[in-house]
Structure 1
Amino acid sequence: MAVALKAEKRDNLKTSVTKQIRANGDVPSVVYGKNKESKAITVNNVELVKTIRDEGRNAIISLAVENEQPVDVMLHQYQTDPLRDEMTHADFYIVNMDEAMDVSVGITLDGEPAGEKEGGVLQQPLYEVQVRAKPADIPDTVTVDVSELNIGDTLSVSDLPHSASYEINDEEDTAIATVIPPDTIEDTDEATDENAEPELVDASDDNNNE
């Protein structure tokens, strides 16, 4: 079920007006879609952030622009002010609930690997996968159990649970999680330290020779 979000039309696109919109606690936004005319709107920053936090990044939103019928949208892109932890711009994409689409979905690792109890360290090189599904079937996250991973074991995309409601598009041999020996991290750190100084020295020498 789509979560409701109200929006207002934005006719004046001047920079000064846009700044004032943000100062008032709203987010300058755009809503568009396939064969749909792009429209400038504003939404309340607090309501939008709450919607994303409560419903997830790929939530279906029933966007109600003033005096118009609500449309089903997804948050396609957004920009934030890292200092204020506020959104500064948002793009909403009008979705066809009967048509599959490609989105990024987060990966959740469940459980404590057996290898960690022996001193191994769990690493997760991949945090998202590309999923193709109809909007209503897009999962909040894809969860995989890592409790049976021993030192040296690796889970790949092919190990993710399968579902009839969505398709994962990433290469099957892409690593998701691995448990490495603790000395591997030390070796990696030492190698990084050893390579760092010569690179800086070389750069300095090149500058002196110019």
Structure 2
Amino acid sequence: MGTKLSAQQRESKTPNSSLTELRGKGSVPGVVYGYQTETLSVSVTEADLIKTLRESGRNGVINLDVDGKTLNVVLSDFQRDALKGSFKHVDFLAVNMSEELEVAVTVHTTGEAAGEKEGGVVNQPNREVNVKVKPSDIPDSLDVDVSALEIGDHLSVGDIRDTVSYEILDEDDFLLVSVTAPTVEEEPEETEEGAEGEAETEAAEGETSEESKEA
């Protein structure tokens, strides 16, 4: 069972002024497409959307009620206002609950790497993996334990593929986490030639100063 969210159907070709007015009233324009449905233009109340996502998670199944018709959907994509952080647009993908689909899942690290305690730096070059799973089994995140990683160690998809119950579509060498040695900037060594040059410059400046006084 998914979390319920109500939506209202709207005209597919809505002028920008109407969309701005819609957002000003606390609603978010969006579209629904996918399994056994024509593309629908809808709007949802932003407060209800935020509450639903908190309950279901980013990848959870939502029972979207569009004017009395209920569709099983997942949040496919969204746009946020860069300054306010509010939702500007949402895309809902209607899904078949008995068939697997491909979705991106966030990689979340747990624990403190052993190498980090020694001054190492934990890097996470890829923060999402692509998985194939039934809608009801979509994980909110892929948790990766990094506590055993020493400086120079890394974790790739191949290291954790057998620890999950769903199919990861990325290759085995797809890097998730690495621990590298800290970068230390060395101060340049002063050469004898450099030191002599500085001494000559200081001496020349001294002589010039003396000549100025005599003049």
Q: Which secondary structure state, in structure 1, belongs to the residue aligned with residue 69 of structure 2?
A: coil
3-state SS of the aligned residue for 2:152?
Answer: coil
Tell me how far apart the structure 1 counterparts of residues 162 and 58 of structure 2 sit (CA, whole Å): 21
Aligned residue in 2 for 1:82:
82
Partner residue in 2 for 1:143: 143
Matched residues in 2 for 1:3 and 1:39: separation? Answer: 20
Which residue does 1:132 correspond to in 2? 132
- 1:15 pairs with 2:16: yes
Equivalent residues in 2 for 1:14-33, closer than 5 Å: 14-33=15-34
Task: State yes or no: 1:60 paired with 2:57.
Answer: no
Q: Which runs of 5+ in 1 are unaligned?
A: 188-210
Question: For residues 1-210 of structure 1, what are the structure 2 equivalents within 5 Å?
Answer: 1-11=1-11, 13-66=14-67, 68-160=68-160, 162=162, 165-183=165-183, 186=185
Secondary structure of 2:65's match?
strand
Partner Cα separation in structure 2 for residue 16 and residue 120 of structure 1: 52
Aligned-residue CA RMSD in angstroms? 1.8
Counterparts of 1:163 and 1:183 in 2: how far apart (Å)?
Answer: 33
Structure 2: which 5+ residue stretches go unaligned?
A: 187-215
Cα distance change, pair 164–151 in 1 and its aligned pair in 2 (3 A) = closer
SS at the partner of 1:162?
Answer: helix
- Alpha-carbon separation, structure 2, partners of 1:182 and 1:106: 26
Shift of 1:30: 0.8
Change (3 A) 1:163 1:134: farther
State the alpha-carbon separation in 1 of the partners of residues 29 and 119 from structure 2. 50
Q: Distance in 1 between matches of 2:85 and 2:174?
A: 33
- Partner amino acid for 1:25? G
Find the aligned partners of 1:155 and 1:164 in 2 and give their Cα distance. 15
Where 1:173 maps in the other structure, the secondary structure is: coil
Structure 1 range deviating more: 29-38 or 71-80:
29-38
| 1:19 CA displacement | 1.6
- Structure 1 residue runs of 4 or more that deviate by more than 6 Å after TM superposition: none
Question: What is the DSSP-based 3-state SS (H/G/I as helix, E as strand, rest coil) of the residue aligned with 1:17?
Answer: helix
> What whole-Å deviation, never above 9, does each CA across 1:10-69 have from its counterpart, x for those lacking one?
136232222211110101111111452111111001111222233221110000111x32
The answer on whether the counterparts of 2:4 and 2:62 sit within 8 Å (CA) in structure 1 is yes
Aligned length: 185
Q: Tell me the SS of whatever aligns to 2:162.
A: coil
Q: In 2, Cα distance between the equivalents of 1:18 and 1:183? A: 49
Contact 2:56 2:62 in 1 (8 A): no
- Per the alignment, in what secondary structure is the counterpart of residue 115 of structure 1? helix
CA contact (8 A) 2:65 2:71 kept: yes
| TM-score, normalised via structure 1 length | 0.82
CA contact (8 A) 1:158 1:173 kept: yes
Distance in 1 between residues matched to 2:123 and 2:164, nearest whole Å: 29
Identity, % of aligned pairs?
44
Q: Deviations over 1:143-162 (max 9, x none)?
A: 12111111111111111253
